Amino acid sequence: MTKWLDYLPTLLQGLEITLTITFAGLLLGLFIALGLTWILDRRVPVLAQLAEGYLLLLTGTPLLVQIFLVYYGPAQFDWVKQSWAWTYLREPMFCAILALGMNAGAYTCRLFKGALDAVPRGETLACQALGMSEWQTLSVKLRHAARRVIPAYSNEVVLVLKGSSLASTISIMEIMGLAQRINGQTYDTLTVFGVAGGIYLLMNGLLTWLFRLLERRALAFQQQG
pLDDT, tens digit (0-9, with 9 covering 90-100), for 147-173? 778 888 889 999 999 999 999 999 999
Domain assignment present for residue 224? The answer is: no
Per DSSP, the three-state class of 189 is helix
CATH value at residue 105: 1.10.3720.10
Domain total for the chain?
1
Residue 45 belongs to a domain? yes
* Residues ≥6 apart with Cβ < 8 Å to 171: 92, 177
Specify the range with the lowest mean pLDDT, choosing from 55-59, 118-122, 195-199.
Answer: 118-122
Q: What is the pLDDT of residue 64?
A: 95
DSSP 27-81: HHHHHHHHHHHHHHHHT-TTHHHHHHHHHHHHHHS-HHHHHHHHHHSGGG-HHHH
Residue 9 lies in a domain: no
| pLDDT of 135 above 50 | yes
Nearest CA among 138, 86, 104, 123 for reference residue 29? 104
For residue 174, being part of any structural domain is answered with no
Domain extent for 117: 16-169
- pLDDT at residue 62 above 80? yes
Residue 37 belongs to some domain of the structure: yes
Residue at 180 is within a domain:
no
Higher pLDDT, 56 or 137: 56
* Whole-angstrom distance, CA of residue 142 vs CA of residue 106: 17
98 within a domain of the structure (yes/no): yes
pLDDT of 141: 73
**Residue predicted with more confidence, 131 or 59:** 59
